[in-house]
Structures are given as structure tokens and as C-alpha cells.
Chains A and B, each alone.
Chain A
Amino acid sequence: MKLPTAPRLSPVWLLSGLLAAGCTGKIGGSASGPSTGTPSGGGGTTGIASGSGTGGAGSTTATGAGSTTGITGSGGATFTGPRDPGRVTVRRLNRAEYDNTVHDLLGTAQTPGATTFPDDAPQLGFDNNGDLQTLSPEQLTLYQTAAESLAAEAMTVGSAERSKIVTCDLTTGTACAQTLINNFGLLAFRRPLTTTEVGNYVTLMATAAKAGATSDEQFRTVLEAFLQSPNFLFRPEFDSSVTSMTPHLLSPYETASRLSYAIYRSMPDQTLFAAAAAGTLAQVSDIQTQVQRMLADPKGVFAQTFASQWLGLGAVTTQSFDSTLFPEFNASLASSMGGEVLDFFNEFLQQNEPVSQLLTANFSYIDKNLASLYGISAPTGTGLTRTTLSNPQRAGGLLTMAGVLSVTSYPVRTSVVKRGAWVLSQLLCAPVPAPPPNIPPFPTGAITAGTQKEILAMHRTEPACAACHDSMDNIGIAMENYDAVGAYRTMENGIAIDASGAFEGGIADPSGVPGAPFTGAVQLAATVAADPRFTPCVAQNALGYALGRTLTTSDAPYLADITTAPQGATIGVRDVLMNVVASDVFRMRRGDPTMATTTTGGM
């Protein structure tokens, strides 16, 4: 499948994620984040070379924030309390969700989000995390402009949009208006309106009439209000008592919205609305049936959206490479690189293939661009085609895909540190803390003498650096046979590449018992696939994305369930998603004593 064009995919999702305090291996110093020491549904990395160099100051190991140790029980404290599904801060539709929603709501082809809204501040974590969203006055003006344009279009006489919304004669009076307000309001607010709400909209029409609006213009004003309402722009979820810690099921409509925004990145469809109205979204089996259906629907974009953000692929189409050193890189190749990863992951989701094989599969989705880059024979036809890979250099699944290899590089060369940090953070949920301050800058630019392994040796001789770099570098070095755009090479600057590495250092190897070393990315991939942290890390990211919040230690027991396959089989990617939506943590929430409000109203 091609990389979907906006709005279904949020293309610019750039992220690097380093948590907390200095290079001591301790996680959890984010003093004023929503919860300290929390793992988050990590986001991906990108071509972010914030700082100079090969790995000195600022060489950001651009990584999503994975989990802390302890969530999955490997190496940290085990959670022993009663189960607590937590609460989710109210989310506002991000701009991709906004465009998808107005498309589904109105049938419009306009994409105000993609064309006029500023980039959603992509945060540590996924782009649907309400804790880290802000709303500026400018954004409201943009919502207003979009609402007025969309409403005008929807009311265009003779249009298909109008015929779906205006199903009675507005000139006949209040009864027709109330019907339309109820019908449209249910879809816009993603729940039935109260009588008071309907009454307010009828009054709005009367106010518009006094300003000289015709009956058409009055209803157009109603549509404008719906599209700027906080009930449309936000996805509120309610607790009967905001301060009570007692978990309760979400309402049917809240459940429907969680499902649709996780899988469709948009509002619920008719079947979900019907199920919510009938109360048939309470049982786990009901929910899983819906999800099976939604994954088969063309609107189902969970695989693409989740994989892109988890792996940091959003940067693949915005990154650039030095055109002298990498003349083969262009927009078409970038698109193929992204598409390969997303189609690959989508197959795993649809066919429920084992999570571990994400790093060991013998097939991928290849087109002429990638075939040329990988040195394999091109499939016939255009577009990405499922291809069995006979080239042993590409047997590392995601880890030997050009998309991943390029977003973890700099424009002029590879980055051992970025790749190592990315593997630790995104695949093992063992993120590396930020570098200590006042590191003298390293030289940057294309390395002209020695290999990276040689140049980075100082990382591992300086004790303050070795604490983290032992872990990162010994992973990234193993990937050095793949250049900055993912092509295979055996030499760097005229010197043969030595791609031998191992899990070393307290982050990669918390047990302190050395594991088997590996040479090359394919052996590295097999090692990660077999690591007990990998599958739980995938599950953790999936849960963080589905929930739209940062995970905490309270989520550990749920994660243990989510990582368990039915009947003890090897868990597949689809199993993970099914377990997520079945979990209490997805279907329930609670208040919090700190949520007491002292005043009503705004500032």
C-alpha cells in the first residue's frame, strides 16, 4: 500500500525522546510532567541532529521515550497494588483527526487541518496525548475560518452534502430544525444531545434570524457552531465524581469514540453509533468484533499511523541527505522507504503474524526504488509488492529497512549513537537518559578519517560517557554496514567495517550477565527479537497509542495481560491490539482526588 496521503497519515511526526536526569541509568526525573518516571507510548525518532557531531554534545539520540524498566517486570519493581486504569486528560482533535472527522461528518474534500492549521506540537509520545496539547487564540481563528467554509459548502443548494444533512424543509419551522439539530448533533458531538442543548441551538437560529439570516443561513450558523463547539473539537470523558478513584466503565459513546479514533483516526461510523445506542459495546466480545470489522474497513489506519509514530517514520519524507554523497535519495525513494515499513507492519496486523518476526521476517514490500537500493531484482509492475527476500543482508525485518536506517542517520553519514539509542528506546523500552551538560563539542560533518567505531572509542573510555554509550554504541556499531540511506556497504572511508557488537552497559544489559555478541544488523535483530523486553515494548507502545496518555507503573498488570497470547501461543500483532481493546485499562477510567475544582467558569 502506498504511503497514504494526508489526512489519513500524519506525515510530519518528528520526535526525539530522552528522559530525565543525567547519565546514571535512572529514569524518571521529569519533575513536572503528568507523572514522574513514566514510560510513554514512545514516539519515534527522526533525522534530528540537534547537536554537533558524532555523538558528543547534543547528538541526540533521537528516540521516543519508551518505558521504564519495571513496567514489564524485567529488572525493576513489580507492581503489587489493586488494578487501576487511570484517567485520560481530555484530548482535542489533532489536525489529522480533524480533517478525517470533517470528511466523515460532512463528506467534504476540504482538508483545513493539513492546509491551514499549524503542525500539532508533536510531543514525547504519540500525537494524541492530551496532556501535552495546547490551544492558542490563533488556532481558534483557524477553526472559525474552517467552520465557516465547511458550513457554507455543506449548505450549498443541490449538493450531495446538503441532501444528507437537510432532510426536511427548513422553512416549515421549529420541528424540522429540531430534527436536523438532533440528527447532526449526534454525529458532531459523537453522542446524543440533551434537550437543553437542542433548545440552545433552536434559540441560536432565532438569534440569527434577528440578524437578518434566512432559514438556510440560520441552519448554516448552527453548523458553524457545531464545528467550533468544545464538544466537537474535544473528546471529553466523564466521571460521575471527578475526585473518586473508583474505576468505572466508559459510556458506550465514549467507548465508540476511543475505538474509532484509535483505528480510524476519526469519528465513529454508523455501525459503532448503532452499537453504542443499543448498548452493545459493553462486553469484551462486542468490542473485539467491532475491531475485527474496523481493521478490514478501508478507513482502518491503525497499522500505518501507529507504526509510523512508533518507529519515527514521519521524518522519512521530510529528511534530506547530501546530494553529492547520496545522489540516489529523492522524494520517490523516500516515499517507497516509508511505504515498505507501513505495508510490512500492516501485514503483520492483518495476518496476526508473530511480533518477534517483525525483526526476522524473510519478506518485505519492495518496489523498483528499493530493489535498486537493496541490490535485489525488482518485482514486476509498479508499486510495493510483497517479495520474499533472498538477500541475507535484509533478513533483519524492520532493522534492515531503509526507512528505519535513514531516519536514524544524519544528512551526511550514519549515526551509531542515534541508531543505538533508537533500538534501546523504541524496541526495548529502555531509553537512554539525556547527556550530562557541558560536553565539549565533537567535530561534525562527514567523517574523513577512521571508521565511526574508531572515532567513538572515546565514548567508552571516559567513564562518565561510558555509562550510557556502552549500551548505545555497541548496538549502533553493529548496524554500520548500512549507510545513511540504508544501502549495504563493507567499507567506510576505505577501511573495512567491523560490525561486531553486543548488549553491554547497564541499559542494554541490566542483568550484568553478558549475552552473546552479534555481528551485523541481522544478528542484532535476532537478538532483539529474542530479548524478553521486545514484545512487551511493542505492546506498551500500542497501549500508549490506543489510550492517548503516558503510561505509569499502574499499567504494569494490564501490560502483562496484553502481552499474553491466547492459549499460550506466540503472540501476534493483531493479538496485541485485540488484547489492548479488551483490557480494562482501555474500557474503564476513574477520577482523581487532585481533580477537585474550586471555581466554576473560565478565567
Chain B
Amino acid sequence: MSILRIRDKNVSFDPRALAAEQRKPAKLLIPRRAILRGAAACIALPTLESLLSRSEARAQAVSPALRFMCWHIPVGVWGPSWFPVDTGTNYTLSPTLTSLAPVKSKVLVFAGIQNTPAVNPQGSHGCGPPGMTTCMQGQKPQIQVGISVDQVYAQSLGTATRIPSLQISGTDSTFSDVSYPAVYNGTTAWASATQPLPPIANAGLIFDQLFAGGATTSGNPTAIAAAAKRLALRKSVLDEVMGEQAALVARLGAIDKAKLDEYLTSVRASETAVQQAMTAPAGSNICSAGTMTRPNITNGPDTNGNGKQIPDPPTYSAMMINLMTLAFQCDATRVINYQQMNGGHSSYSSFPWLTPAINKDHHGMSHHNGDVATGLLLARVEAWEISLFSSFLQKLDAIKEGSNSILDNSLIFLSSEIADGNGHNQGATSYAGFSAPTGKPILLAGSAGGKISTGRHAIYNNAAQADLFIALLNTLGVPAKTFGAAGTAPLTGLTA
């Protein structure tokens, strides 16, 4: 665990845990796979890969790897179709959530949770996405919010996985809301208060990231040699540019140096990835794409020519779901930030793939003004989004790691940058004729290895989303005590 390295006002840790961390002897940064390989050699067994599937081997060698995910759906929800009207374990799935039926026992539906620190009457779509994951207000004009919950976990893992975290979005369109930097609207992952991790909206590039250039090399000596050479050349390039950076900053003032230091941090991250790839046994660090070929959908105008959404969102989303499943399965990463779409004006401009099609823009509809017909259109969109979520959960649930599934060993947080699009609020919303409790739409899927009690609808009383994050971090083994502007104690009632 490397919580000692996290320096962000947004989160603080149990002082006893910090002290214990400091007392631990310095760890040798030996890749886990090298240890496994060495162990296998010592006891003269065939390599683990040939005996067990990779994930089974991992399950036996180390305690289950816990995955964490933030899944963002845009512009809030139509409450009367989202929130179930009954509570407890025998609740009825609401209309919007119907497609969760196959994984109902593994999902926790929340009501009565608010994220007040993210309240911003003017900039809700601008500040909202980072507010959702940091429980902080974004500043302006400087880019500054807080470390996001997923990055707290990612940084605690150190270099346990080849990719610290994946950031993916369904669009690369962002906009600036009342002069908030547009990076807010498009970014839910924040490595620090000032370091956004903008997502990639190109499935081909995600494919490349996961499969190290697209080719699987296991068993192919020529490909292995080529990959090794590629890595060596890449490393030499990175060494060269780091040297140039040092020479450059020696001549620059403090502000310019800070900009170049961001560059250096990024180059170092790249070098670490290359080092890891170089020291792992040939072929073992590359996830297998199986039968999936490199996707060819690139960013561009959508079918209506009205926006920058990816063409054919259903195909694109399915592709991303496959990639994310593979990423978790081969342990390329344990943290993913998925933005189904960005918030506000950057969301879908129309829905031609639904039956019947909806030819209104998402953000416009979200200002429903209480109109039920518009609300039901929103609910259809949201039901589609949840069906994608459900398909992902089902894929994760089908992959076994020991006696659990990957879904069991995960915590997947789904929410939106606001609770309701009409008022841009961050908590309970009232709708004429609907009396069940509302709040921020939040789903939690997976149980971190059985630690969370799922399969129910839990209604809280104006609880803070930040407290939920503290509880989730603690469940993941991160001893967070505070989080964001409002998190003071872990949310209770989550465990069995």
C-alpha cells in the first residue's frame, strides 16, 4: 500500500494506519509475476500459466484483487422511474432498473444520499463530473478540485498493475460551463487536485493500451523479440527526453518549471510502464485480446452531424464493455473510470438507435420542468444506459476467480454528476405524484469479496455521498478517515 504518497487535502487517513505503513520495511518492487515464476521454479512445477488460468493462479497466490470502478451517466435521472418504491431485500426493481434483474442480488440501490459539496447552481454540468468523484467544488479559472475516490485507491495500489487506472469516455466533447475550465465537464478521474486524467474516447487506443500495441506475442519468438526491441527503443527515447527536460527547466522560472514538471511526471509514468513490461517474463504481461480485433471507431461527428458523440453508441458501448471486462480479467488494471457520456451539453444529441427513436437532445430533455412525457423519454434513455451497465455486470459475474466472480471481487459505483437535470440539484428531488424517497441516483455493484451486503434497496436519510466513499475505500483496504468537503465518517449499514 502506498497511501503515504497521497498528498491531497481531499482525503485523510487513519493516523495509526499511516504510522504502521511508515514502520514497514522498504518493499522490493519485484513484480508479482516474477515471484510467482520464481516460486514455480523452486518447486519444479510447470509454469503456472500452463496449469491454471491466469486469474486462478492469481487467486491462489494472492488474496483476491479488488477492483474499483466509477461509472458516470450524464445529466441526472427521472426519479419516478429510477427509485424503487419499496425497500429492503425483496424490493421491486424500478422501471429504469429492470434490466438489472439477472444481477439483482449483486447490486445495492441507494436512495436518500446527497452530494452537497458538488452543488453549483451555475456550473453544475461544468463542475459536476469532478464533483461526483471528489465531493469537492471545482475552482476557476485555475484547474483545481481534489483527488477522486478511484485515484485514492489506484495510488494505494502503487505499481501492482501495469496500468494504474483506465479512463474511458463515450465522447471527447467537453464544454466550459460559466467559465469553469472545460476539462471538468469531461473528466471524473483526478490524480490530485490539479492533475486531471482526461479519458480516452477512442476504443482503438484503449485496445492498444491493453494489448501492448495490438499483437499478442505469447509463444511467438519473432514477435517476442520485436516487442522487446520496441520496448528498448522506447526506453531510450524516454531517457533522452527526460534529459532534455532537465536541461530545459534549468533555464526556466518557477511557473514554467511547474508546467515542465507535469511533463516529467508523465514521462516517468511512461518509463515505469516500459520498465515493468521489460522485466516481466516475455508474453506474460500482455493481456490476450482473444478473438477481439482492434476496433476502428474513431471520434467524429455523430450520425446527425449535430455533435461529437461517437457514431453508433450501442456498438461503441458494447466494445468498451468488452475491453473493460478484459482489462479486469487479465489484471491489466484494477481501477476504471467510465463516462458513458460527459455531462450537460456534451451528452447525446439524439437517440436514433432506440425504438422508437428519440430525436431530442439529452440535456434539453433533462430540463423536463416536471413534464411527465419528457420524464418518460428520459427514463427510456436511462433504461438503455442501465442495460449496458447490466451487460457489463453480467460479463464480470460470469468470470470466476476461485469461488468468487470478478463482480464479487469488485466495487462498482454508478451515479451522475447531478441528481436531477431540471434543478441541477445534488440530492432529494420532489416530483408531483411520486412519494418514494429520491436523492442522488447511486448504484453499487459487487461486494469487494463479500464484504458489502448487496441485493437490496437501502434508503438513507440525507447521508453524504462522501461518507459512502469513505466506507468504500475502507472496504478496499484504504484507511481513509475523511473525504471531500463533507465526508467525516464511513457510511454505516453497508456490511452484512
**A residues at B contact (CB < 8 Å):** 12, 14-19, 30, 32-34, 46-53, 57-58, 60, 62, 65, 87, 89-90, 92, 115-116, 118-119, 121-124, 130-142, 144-145, 196-197, 200-201, 204, 207-208, 211-213, 217, 221, 224-225, 228-231, 233-234, 236, 238-239, 242-243, 315, 318-320, 322-323, 330-331, 334, 411-412, 434-435, 437-439, 441, 443-445, 591-592, 594-597, 600-603
Are B307 and A58 neighbours in the complex by a CB distance under 8 Å? no
Are B307 and A33 neighbours in the complex by a CB distance under 8 Å? no
Are B270 and A140 neighbours in the complex by a CB distance under 8 Å? yes
Rounded to whole angstroms, the CA-CA distance of A201 and B173 in the bound complex is 38
- Residues 107-124 of chain B, each 1 if its beta carbon lies under 8 Å from chain A, else 0: 000000000000001111
Q: Which residues of A contact B359 (CB under 8 A)?
A: 323
Top-7 shortest CB links A-B:
A595-B253, A331-B305, A121-B183, A242-B253, A602-B264, A140-B266, A211-B232
| B398 at interface by CB-CB < 8 Å | no
Rounded to whole angstroms, the CA-CA distance of A230 and B245 in the bound complex is 6
Interface residues of B in 278-311 (CB under 8 A from A): 298-299, 301, 304-308
22 A-B pairs within 8 Å (CB atoms) are namely A14-B175, A15-B179, A17-B179, A48-B345, A50-B122, A115-B298, A121-B186, A135-B263, A138-B199, A196-B247, A200-B240, A211-B229, A225-B237, A229-B240, A230-B263, A239-B253, A242-B251, A320-B307, A330-B305, A435-B121, A444-B422, A601-B246
Most central of B259, B264, B423 by chain A CB within 10 Å = B259
Are B422 and A135 neighbours in the complex by a CB distance under 8 Å? no
Q: Which residues of A contact B246 (CB under 8 A)?
A: 600-602
CB < 8 Å: which of A137, A144, A238 contacts B265? A137
Rounded to whole angstroms, the CA-CA distance of A201 and B243 in the bound complex is 11
Contact flag A123-B244 (CB < 8 Å), given A136-B197, A221-B237: no
CB distance from A147 to the nearest CB of B (A): 8
Contact flag A65-B369 (CB < 8 Å), given A50-B344, A58-B122, A204-B237: no
CB distance from A129 to the nearest CB of B (A): 9
CB distance from A415 to the nearest CB of B (A): 13
Q: Which residues of A contact B200 (CB under 8 A)?
A: 116, 118, 138, 142
| B96 at interface by CB-CB < 8 Å | no
| B360 at interface by CB-CB < 8 Å | yes
Q: Which residues of A contact B241 (CB under 8 A)?
A: 225, 228-230
CB distance from A365 to the nearest CB of B (A): 21
Q: Which residues of A contact B173 (CB under 8 A)?
A: 12, 119, 318
| B146 at interface by CB-CB < 8 Å | no
Rounded to whole angstroms, the CA-CA distance of A137 and B198 in the bound complex is 9
Are B259 and A133 neighbours in the complex by a CB distance under 8 Å? yes
Contact flag A121-B181 (CB < 8 Å), given A212-B229, A225-B240, A230-B244: yes
CB distance from A244 to the nearest CB of B (A): 10
Most central of B174, B253, B301, B349 by chain A CB within 10 Å = B253
Interface residues of B in 225-283 (CB under 8 A from A): 229, 232-234, 236-238, 240-241, 243-257, 259-270
Q: Which residues of A contact B122 (CB under 8 A)?
A: 18, 50-51, 57-58, 60, 434-435
Q: Which residues of A contact B245 (CB under 8 A)?
A: 230, 602
CB distance from A511 to the nearest CB of B (A): 27
Rounded to whole angstroms, the CA-CA distance of A138 and B301 in the bound complex is 23
Q: Which residues of A contact B301 (CB under 8 A)?
A: 331
Are B369 and A90 neighbours in the complex by a CB distance under 8 Å? no
Are B176 and A124 neighbours in the complex by a CB distance under 8 Å? yes
Are A144 and B179 neighbours in the complex by a CB distance under 8 Å? no
Are B121 and A437 neighbours in the complex by a CB distance under 8 Å? yes
CB distance from B120 to the nearest CB of A (A): 8
CB < 8 Å: which of B121, B243, B371 contacts A51? B121
| B182 at interface by CB-CB < 8 Å | yes
Q: Which residues of A contact B182 (CB under 8 A)?
A: 14-15, 119, 121-123
CB < 8 Å: which of A123, A200, A411, A596 contacts B141? A123
Rounded to whole angstroms, the CA-CA distance of A134 and B299 in the bound complex is 22
Residue of A nearest to B171 (CB): A119
Rounded to whole angstroms, the CA-CA distance of A597 and B249 in the bound complex is 10
Q: Which residues of B contact A231 (CB under 8 A)?
A: 244, 248
Are B423 and A52 neighbours in the complex by a CB distance under 8 Å? yes
Q: Which residues of A contact B260 (CB under 8 A)?
A: 90, 230, 234, 602
CB < 8 Å: which of A32, A196, A228 contacts B142? A32
| B364 at interface by CB-CB < 8 Å | yes
Q: Which residues of B contact A217 (CB under 8 A)?
A: 233
Most central of A92, A137, A142, A434 by chain B CB within 10 Å = A137
Q: Which residues of B contact A34 (CB under 8 A)?
A: 141-142
Most central of B201, B256, B364 by chain A CB within 10 Å = B256
CB < 8 Å: which of B126, B208, B209, B236 contacts A211? B236
Q: How large is the interface on B (under 10, 10 to 19, 20 to 34, 35 or more residues)?
A: 35 or more
Rounded to whole angstroms, the CA-CA distance of A138 and B299 in the bound complex is 17
Rounded to whole angstroms, the CA-CA distance of A213 and B175 in the bound complex is 45
Rounded to whole angstroms, the CA-CA distance of A92 and B245 in the bound complex is 13
- Residues 29-64 of chain B, each 1 if its beta carbon lies under 8 Å from chain A, else 0: 000000000000000000000000000000000000
Rounded to whole angstroms, the CA-CA distance of A224 and B179 in the bound complex is 37
Are A14 and B142 neighbours in the complex by a CB distance under 8 Å? no
Q: Which residues of A contact B248 (CB under 8 A)?
A: 230-231, 234, 236
Residue of A nearest to B209 (CB): A141
CB < 8 Å: which of A16, A121, A212 contacts B178? A16
| B177 at interface by CB-CB < 8 Å | yes
Are B186 and A57 neighbours in the complex by a CB distance under 8 Å? no
Contact flag A57-B121 (CB < 8 Å), given A115-B298, A238-B251, A603-B261: yes
Q: Which residues of B contact A57 (CB under 8 A)?
A: 121-122, 424
Rounded to whole angstroms, the CA-CA distance of A236 and B253 in the bound complex is 11
Q: Which residues of B contact A49 (CB under 8 A)?
A: 345, 363, 367
| B447 at interface by CB-CB < 8 Å | no
Rounded to whole angstroms, the CA-CA distance of A144 and B363 in the bound complex is 35
Q: Which residues of A contact B265 (CB under 8 A)?
A: 137, 602-603
Most central of B243, B255, B349, B360 by chain A CB within 10 Å = B255
Rounded to whole angstroms, the CA-CA distance of A85 and B267 in the bound complex is 33
Contact flag A135-B266 (CB < 8 Å), given A16-B177, A318-B308, A601-B249: yes
CB < 8 Å: which of B142, B172, B175, B350 contacts A118? B172
Contact flag A596-B345 (CB < 8 Å), given A116-B202, A121-B181, A139-B198: no
Rounded to whole angstroms, the CA-CA distance of A190 and B186 in the bound complex is 33
CB distance from B413 to the nearest CB of A (A): 21
Q: Which residues of A contact B174 (CB under 8 A)?
A: 14, 119, 121-122
CB < 8 Å: which of B247, B253, B306 contacts A597? B253
CB < 8 Å: which of A51, A139, A233, A411 contacts B424? A51
CB < 8 Å: which of B198, B344, B363 contacts A136? B198
Residue of A nearest to B204 (CB): A116
Q: Which residues of A contact B234 (CB under 8 A)?
A: 144
Q: Which residues of B contact A122 (CB under 8 A)?
A: 174-176, 182
Q: Which residues of B contact A196 (CB under 8 A)?
A: 247
Contact flag A242-B250 (CB < 8 Å), given A16-B178, A602-B264: no
Are B259 and A331 neighbours in the complex by a CB distance under 8 Å? no
